[in-house]
Amino acid sequence: MGTLGMPNSSSISEFLLLALADTRQLQLLHFWLLLGIYLAALLGNGLISTAVACHHRLHTPMYFFLLNLALLDLGCISTTLPKAMANALWDTRTIYSGCAAQVFLFVLLFTTEIYLLTIMSYDRYVAICKPLHYGTLMDSRACATMAAAAWGTGVLTALLHTANTFSLFFCEITQILKLSCSHSYQREDGLIMASVLVEFGCFLFIVVSYVQIFRAVLRMPSEQGRHKAFSTCLPHLAVVSLFLSTAMFAYLKPPSMSSPSMDLVVAFVYSVVPPTLNPLIYSMRNQEIKDAVRKMMSWSHFKIKGRK
- By three-state DSSP, how is residue 92 classified? coil
The answer to whether residue 221 sits within a structural domain is yes
Using CA atoms of 110, 4, 28, 266 in order, give the dihedral in degrees to the nearest 10: -50
Residue 68 lies in a domain: yes
d(CA 285, CA 238): 11
Q: How many CB atoms lie within 10 A of CB 271?
A: 23
Q: Which residues contact residue 239 at a Cβ distance below 8 angstroms, ignoring those fewer than 6 apart?
A: 69, 117, 274, 278, 281, 282
Assign residue 126 the CATH number of its domain.
1.20.1070.10
Query: What is the pLDDT at residue 306?
Result: 55
166 part of a folded domain: yes
**237 in a domain, yes or no?**
yes
DSSP 3-state percent helix, strand, coil across the chain (nearest 5):
80, 0, 15
For residue 115, what are the domain limits? 24-290
Of 96, 138, 80, residue with least CA distance to 11: 96
Q: What is the pLDDT of residue 138?
A: 92
Q: What pLDDT was estimated at residue 282?
A: 80
Q: Are 268 and 38 in contact (CB under 8 A)?
A: no
Residue 275: exposed, middle, or buried by beta-carbon count in 10 A (0-12, 13-18, 19+)? buried
- Exposure of 134 by Cβ count < 10 A (0-12 exposed, 13-18 middle, 19+ buried)? middle
pLDDT at residue 72, rounded to an integer: 93
**Cα dihedral value 145, 196, 269, 90, nearest 10:** 80
Q: Is residue 18 part of a domain?
A: no
Residue 8 lies in a domain: no
pLDDT of amino acid 165: 64
Residue-level pLDDT at 24:
74
Structurally, how many domains does the chain consist of?
Answer: 1
DSSP conformation class of 58: G
Any domain includes 189: yes
pLDDT per residue of the chain (308 residues) written in tens, 0 to 9: 444 444 444 444 555 555 566 677 777 888 898 899 999 999 999 988 998 888 888 888 989 999 999 999 999 899 888 887 887 787 666 655 567 778 788 889 989 999 999 999 999 999 999 988 898 899 999 999 999 999 999 999 888 877 766 543 445 555 555 555 455 555 656 677 777 788 888 889 999 999 999 888 888 888 887 888 887 788 888 888 888 787 777 767 777 776 767 777 777 777 888 888 888 888 766 778 878 777 777 765 555 555 55
In a domain, 307, yes or no: no
What's the chain's length in residues? 308
